[in-house]
């Protein structure tokens, strides 16, 4: 939940002032910010949900991909682990995933370099025009909630048609290309394994377009002077098929599991995988997309890179229809959702607002 705007507080003016500065939250901090502007204050403490470290034996699954493409016995075990994680958590961490640790570290450093360069170098990319393939901005909800989140973000649409090389910021250009190429390869493996976990042909999810689009967001959250009052990212589910998240060692990501917020403890060299709403829809609720959030911290900066596999970016894919996969349906497992296209899905989700809502219920048949 977001705090209700006060009658005497002009939230929109304050939000627009932050937006028009084009310097982001880092600009506010560098200017000596000691107290949060009102638009950053979130009333999340009213949620009657426990938060913190997981109870004993309740942890985000960690899956070791060693041998996934060379050992059939290990592959079968990994598929079982993925199936359980996707059914019960919607989240898991992956180790030995094939992306070199030095690549992960340099990607984090590259996003840090971008956000910590001189403001004038970032201003030219500051935009909310979603038709642009490379943008920088502060996370602000200008629709219903009228709130700002404690993070700045560099967004790059990297597939199927990446931006021209010169459009990518020089501070992270080479590593962005290298890292996202690695993520695309890992995504192919993940979708093969998830297909098999659903009892489908390994190429099924790839064949229906799940691996085609990649939308990358490099988040930067400076140390917050009043972290108990705001959020780095509000309560939400991801909209697409699958997200690959690289985070530094500061932490802050929490997953809602059995009505409790569970901290996702950073593991050096690991990647976090979570399912999106469209994968829950096409799996007919066999696999789940779950609520998660990022709490603000008084240390930082916190850096994370979320890579979203989703297909609506390109016009030729925008109206491709998705519904429960027919091979998963039976008399005892009828379709739960109607077919939709990603344009209609995203329009409805953003109309409802991202914070604490899921669009899936709207597309249910009963």
Q: Which pairing describes strands 260-263 and 50-52: parallel, antiparallel, or unpaired?
A: parallel
* Helix (H), strand (E) at residue 44: none
CATH at residue 107:
2.60.120.330
Q: Per-residue pLDDT tens for 15-70? A: 888 888 889 999 999 999 889 988 898 865 444 466 656 566 678 999 999 999 99
In a domain, 12, yes or no: no
% of the chain surpassing 90 pLDDT: 70
pLDDT for residue 45: 46
Instruction: For the chain, give the mean pLDDT.
Output: 89
Q: How many domains in the chain?
A: 1
Q: Is residue 164 part of a domain?
A: yes
pLDDT at residue 286 greater than cutoff 90: yes
List CB contacts of 331: < 8 A, sequence separation 6 or more.
Answer: none
Lowest mean pLDDT among 17-21, 44-48, 273-277, 332-336: 44-48
Sheet architecture: strand order including 134-141: 62-64, 91-95, 271-275, 242-247, 302-309, 214-221, 147-159, 134-141
pLDDT at residue 356, as a whole number: 66
The answer to whether the CB of 113 falls within 8 A of the CB of 121 is no
Asked, for residue 13, whether it belongs to a domain, the answer is: no
30, part of any domain: no
Find tokens 């998660």 and name the residue.
292
pTM of the model: 0.93
- Under 8 Å CB-to-CB from 148, ≥6 apart: which residues? 15, 18, 37, 39, 40, 138, 139, 140, 141
Q: Which DSSP string do the residues of 304-347 spell out, in sequence order?
A: EEEEEE-STTSGGGTT-EE-S-GGG--SSS---B--EEHHHHHH
Q: How confident is the model at residue 195 (pLDDT cuts 50, 70, 90)?
A: very high
- Residue 357: per-residue pLDDT: 66
User: In the predicted model, what is the mean pLDDT of residues 310-327?
Assistant: 79
Q: Ranked by mean pLDDT, which of 204-208, 313-317, 347-351 comes out on top?
A: 204-208
**Hey, which residues does 305 pair with through a beta bridge?**
218, 246
The CA angle 118-122-123, to the nearest 5 degrees, is 110
Q: What is 239-256 written as a DSSP string?
A: -SSEEEEEE-SS--EEEE
Confidence label for 264 from pLDDT (cuts 50, 70 and 90): very high
Per residue in 221-240, pLDDT tens? 999 999 999 999 988 899 89
pLDDT at 147: 74
CA atoms in the 13 A half-sphere facing the CB of 169 = 27
Q: Give the pLDDT mean for 193-212.
A: 96
- pLDDT tens-digit readout, 240-256: 999 999 999 999 999 99
Domain that holds residue 233: 61-362
In a domain? residue 55: no
First to last CA, the chain: 27
Instruction: Report which of 155, 347, 85 is spatially closest to residue 239, judged by C-alpha positions.
Output: 347
Task: Give the pLDDT of residue 327.
Answer: 97
- CA 312 from centre of chain: 16
| pLDDT per residue as tens digits for the range 69-117 | 999 999 999 999 999 999 999 999 999 999 999 999 999 999 999 999 9
Q: Of 36, 223, 15, 30, whose CA–CA distance to 119 is shortest?
A: 30
Distance CA 234, CA 1 (A): 8
Question: Does residue 40 lie in a domain region?
Answer: no
Rounded mean pLDDT, 209-223: 95
Residue 246 counted as domain residue: yes
The total of other beta-carbon atoms located within 10 Å of residue 132's CB is 14
Please report the pLDDT score of residue 18 as a whole number.
84
How is 68-126 classified by DSSP, letter by letter? Answer: TTT-HHHHHHHHHHHHHHHHHTSEEEEES-SS-HHHHHHHHHHHHHHHHS-HHHHHTTB
145 is written with which tokens? 């909630």
pLDDT at 320: 82
């Amino acid at each position: 939940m977001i705090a209700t705007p006060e009658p005497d507080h002009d939230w929109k003016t304050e939000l627009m002032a932050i937006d028009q500065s084009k310097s982001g939250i880092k600009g506010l901090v560098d200017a000596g910010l000691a107290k949060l502007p009102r638009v950053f204050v979130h009333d999340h403490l009213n949620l009657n949900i426990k938060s913190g470290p997981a109870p004993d034996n309740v942890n985000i699954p960690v899956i070791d991909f060693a041998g996934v493409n060379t050992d059939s016995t290990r592959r079968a075990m990994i598929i079982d682990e993925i199936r359980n994680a996707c059914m019960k958590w919607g989240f898991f961490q992956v180790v030995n995933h094939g992306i070199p640790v030095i690549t992960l570290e340099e990607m984090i450093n590259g996003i840090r370099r971008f956000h910590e360069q001189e403001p004038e170098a970032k201003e030219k990319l500051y935009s909310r025009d979603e038709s642009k393939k490379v943008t920088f901005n502060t996370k602000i909800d200008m629709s219903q909630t009228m709130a700002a989140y404690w993070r700045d973000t560099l967004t790059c649409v990297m597939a199927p048609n990446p931006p021209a090389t010169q459009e990518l910021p020089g501070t992270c250009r080479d590593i962005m290309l290298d890292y996202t190429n690695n993520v695309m390869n890992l995504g192919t493996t993940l979708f093969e394994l998830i297909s098999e976990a659903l009892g489908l042909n390994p190429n099924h999810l790839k064949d229906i377009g799940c691996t085609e689009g990649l939308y990358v967001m490099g988040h930067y959250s400076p140390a917050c002077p009043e972290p108990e009052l705001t959020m780095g990212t509000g309560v939400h589910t991801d909209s697409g098929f699958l997200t690959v998240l690289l985070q530094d060692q500061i932490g802050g990501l929490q997953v809602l599991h059995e009505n409790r917020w569970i901290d996702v403890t950073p593991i050096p060299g690991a990647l976090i995988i979570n399912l999106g709403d469209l994968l829950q829809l096409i799996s007919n609720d066999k696999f789940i997309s779950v609520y998660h959030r990022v709490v603000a911290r008084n240390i930082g900066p916190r850096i994370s890179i979320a890579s979203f596999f989703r297909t609506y970016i390109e016009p030729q894919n925008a109206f491709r229809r998705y519904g429960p996969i027919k091979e998963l349906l039976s008399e005892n497992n009828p379709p739960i959702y109607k077919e939709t296209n990603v344009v209609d899905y995203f329009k409805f989700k953003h109309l409802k607002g991202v914070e604490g809502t899921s669009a899936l219920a709207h597309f249910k048949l009963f």
